[in-house]
Structure 1
Amino acid sequence: MELHILEHRLQVASVAKESIPLFTYGLIKLAFLSSKTRCKFFSLTETPEDYTIIVDEEGFLELPSSEHLSVADATWLALNVVSGGGSFSSSQPIGVTKIAKSVIAPLADQNISVFMLSTYQTDFILVRERDLPFVTHTLSSEFTILRVVNGETVAAENLGITNGFVKPKLVQRPVIHPLSSPSNRFCVTSLDPDTLPAVATLLMDVMFYSNGVKDPMATGDDCGHIRFFSFSLIEGYISLVMDVQTQQRFPSNLLFTSASGELWKMVRIGGQPLGFGPRREHQWCHQCPEGQPSREALEGPLLLLPAAARAQP
């Protein structure tokens, strides 16, 4: 397997719900007028608590400076695990369960914080730029590590880390945060960027103005309906994560969906954001196709599972 260090230098920020009107101009430009910017990596996620923005340095310049924009105190780099080489759009992606075992867990054992973003196309592992030497040293025995430079994939240089690592003993990580599952059923989908103008008004309403509709199939045995929507535009590819009620507002012929119509359930970890502390994976859209999440994978805020699967905490 190959681990690609992508060119994007990213900022991770959050905005309170009541403050989002201050940023809609820049966010709309990043989402719908990308040809007018130099941004190549943009993701906006609405959760019940706030909006999370992941954006490269060029896109970050489109956002106003404001005390209402909380920015993580680090620059983040995006890593991509692929099989067979090539770009993330043409290579065979590696499942998230494998990523959790082969990438996230070893980094957690070295107290290296990780932020994971899954899209319709692939999965990105975000690490702090200052941690990159330790990341490559930790993973070099399992991966061929390559770096994308000016669009070309080249061998990553030796970053000179030789000391300070002790292989940790294998211990079981307890689940220390409560788990809950909202009633929503979610789909992970995409659309052709050429059709974006046809649904731009609807997308803006969903992203900034709509409070969502409760799932009529919800029962009294769950945690109720929550508000969650994610839009990503990364290297020209669009990814959307939404519940089925929101999906029904879109023309059915525009969204890319699986032939099986597979839906996902969400597992929320903890009742509040867990932050970026060591041994902690911060994941907004973490898919686990096998339906049996590892305990290492249950240390981030949100996890998506197939709706037909029943997660075992």
Structure 2
Amino acid sequence: MVNVGAKMDERMEINILDYRLKVMSIAKPAIERFTHALIDVLFFKSYLSGGCANNQHGFVSVTETDADYSVIVEEEAYKAFEGKSQDVKVNEQTWLPLVASTGPAMVVQNAAGISKIANSVVIPLADRGISVYPLSTYKTDYVLIQEADFDKVCEVLAQNFRITREGHLQSSEIVVEPTRVQKALPSGAGNSRALTHTFDCSDTNTYCMTSMDSKSLEPHGLAIIKALLYSGHQSEVQTSYFFNLSIIEQDISLILNVTLLNKFPAHLFFDNSEYWRLITIGDMPEGVGFRQAGIVAQISEPIASADISEYYISSFYYGHAFVPFDQFDEVRRLLIKKQNSQKAAAAAKLSNGL
């Protein structure tokens, strides 16, 4: 067999991590009934052999928004939530997390976050009708794919990436037959790139993305749990609320507004001097859904093309794009311009049809 893309090995690589994940939503009024289960998956990991002693393993992310608590956990951890309440909704798919390394062919000059992999990963998958569920953290941008799409994902990305998949004991290279490799579509060829969902720029909060030493997690766990499970209900919190805590192996990542950040000890978190604004994608009650491809691409493409950093957090109902505070107005103008261009094109088409 031929290892497609071998000539690119030194530049770009995709690693599919050894996790099988479930994505679920917990209704906000019901969160107190799941506090114990959330504390366990975040800090103790009793579902793992060895529990919290195996602190280098594990994948969990909890995001609180105005709509719900969106939770990503390993399949074994999901058993603590499965069938316990009608207040828990779960996507039926199993998700696999992949990480793309950066190389000369995919690096945008200044941009960070999902913008680095928009043109090489997110957009090619969208053009082939493959939906993704991104999760940006302080250190890494994870792209979750549905296990059912695994072969198709490899066929799309093999042209430009060497793909490996982690196993229990060792990693193995994924080999794609040359005849099955899906070549990239010409720029602009993907119909899914149109803005098909509304975007909301009304959140006035200032956010920070930060991290902390894993040794600080246990002594400050109570304060973090309070922030995650209870701060959103406090009267002084502004109209919109967002908080994310992700613990993925040794990668501890938090996204929180500066008001909440200032309630923690100043020495607790790593550098958080960069400030971000939030753009929310999707409409309730259906949200953005899991089946439609291209939702991330339609937002990320104009941002990446403008060489602007973007961190993206998916939740059960919404997409959440974080852009630099001082470039927020520029991003908003880009998206509005794209939206207006679509409306004009649609009007012209309708007029010509008449």
Q: Please indicate the TM-score interval, normalised by the length of the shorter structure.
A: 0.7 to 0.9
TM value normalised by structure 1: 0.82
- Larger mean CA deviation between 58-67 and 114-123 belongs to 58-67
When residues 94 and 247 of structure 1 are mapped into structure 2, their CA distance, relative to the original with a 3 A threshold, is closer
Distance 1:55 1:237 in 2: 15
Determine the structure 2 residue equivalent to 1:209: 230
When residues 190 and 30 of structure 1 are mapped into structure 2, their CA distance, relative to the original with a 3 A threshold, is same
Determine the structure 1 residue equivalent to 2:99: 80
Out of 204, 207, 212, which is 1:186 matched to? 207
The Cα RMSD (Å) is: 2.9
Query: Greater CA radius of gyration, 1 or 2?
Result: 2
Gap regions ≥5 residues in structure 2: 1-11, 104-110, 336-354
Q: Do 1:117 and 1:125's aligned partners in 2 also have CA atoms closer than 8 Å?
A: yes
Asked whether 1:250 is paired with 2:271, we answer: no
When residues 189 and 164 of structure 1 are mapped into structure 2, their CA distance, relative to the original with a 3 A threshold, is closer
Distance apart, 1:277 and its partner CA? 2.3
Distance 2:90 2:102 in 1: 33
Distance apart, 1:202 and its partner CA? 1.2
Distance apart, 1:144 and its partner CA? 0.8
Determine the structure 2 residue equivalent to 1:266: 278
Determine the structure 1 residue equivalent to 2:247: 233
Distance 1:225 1:101 in 2: 34
Determine the structure 2 residue equivalent to 1:21: 32
Out of 88, 100, 103, which is 1:69 matched to? 88
Distance 2:196 2:325 in 1: 24
Q: Do 1:5 and 1:77's aligned partners in 2 also have CA atoms closer than 8 Å?
A: yes
Asked whether 1:9 is paired with 2:27, we answer: no
The one-letter amino acid paired with 1:239 is: S
When residues 124 and 292 of structure 1 are mapped into structure 2, their CA distance, relative to the original with a 3 A threshold, is closer
Alignment deviations for residues 55-79 of structure 1 (CA, whole Å, 9 cap, x no partner): 1122223335323221111110000
Asked whether 1:116 is paired with 2:134, we answer: yes
Q: Do 2:163 and 2:174's aligned partners in 1 also have CA atoms closer than 8 Å?
A: yes
- Larger mean CA deviation between 62-71 and 115-124 belongs to 62-71
Q: Do 2:209 and 2:255's aligned partners in 1 also have CA atoms closer than 8 Å?
A: yes
Out of 144, 156, 161, which is 1:138 matched to? 156
Distance 1:132 1:94 in 2: 26
Q: Do 2:64 and 2:241's aligned partners in 1 also have CA atoms closer than 8 Å?
A: yes
Q: Do 2:155 and 2:181's aligned partners in 1 also have CA atoms closer than 8 Å?
A: no
Distance apart, 1:106 and its partner CA? 0.9
Out of 158, 175, 197, which is 1:177 matched to? 197
Determine the structure 2 residue equivalent to 1:43: 61
Alignment deviations for residues 175-204 of structure 1 (CA, whole Å, 9 cap, x no partner): 233322200110001111211122222111
Instruction: Select the structure that is richer in helix.
Output: 2
When residues 253 and 111 of structure 1 are mapped into structure 2, their CA distance, relative to the original with a 3 A threshold, is same
Out of 147, 154, 158, which is 2:165 matched to? 147
Distance apart, 1:164 and its partner CA? 10
Number of residue-to-residue matches in the alignment: 287
Determine the structure 2 residue equivalent to 1:90: none
Alignment deviations for residues 164-183 of structure 1 (CA, whole Å, 9 cap, x no partner): 96865533732233322200
Distance 2:171 2:101 in 1: 12
Distance apart, 1:20 and its partner CA? 1.2
Distance 1:225 1:131 in 2: 38
Q: Do 1:214 and 1:245's aligned partners in 2 also have CA atoms closer than 8 Å?
A: no
Alignment deviations for residues 118-138 of structure 1 (CA, whole Å, 9 cap, x no partner): 011101000111100000001
Determine the structure 1 residue equivalent to 2:347: none
Please give the secondary structure, in 2, of the residue aligned with 1:19.
helix
Q: Do 2:155 and 2:180's aligned partners in 1 also have CA atoms closer than 8 Å?
A: no
Q: Do 1:44 and 1:230's aligned partners in 2 also have CA atoms closer than 8 Å?
A: yes
Distance 2:235 2:170 in 1: 45
Q: Do 1:267 and 1:302's aligned partners in 2 also have CA atoms closer than 8 Å?
A: yes
Please give the secondary structure, in 1, of the residue aligned with 2:153.
helix
The one-letter amino acid paired with 1:118 is: S
TM value normalised by structure 2: 0.73
Distance apart, 1:208 and its partner CA? 1.0
Distance 1:231 1:292 in 2: 20
Please give the secondary structure, in 2, of the residue aligned with 1:256.
coil
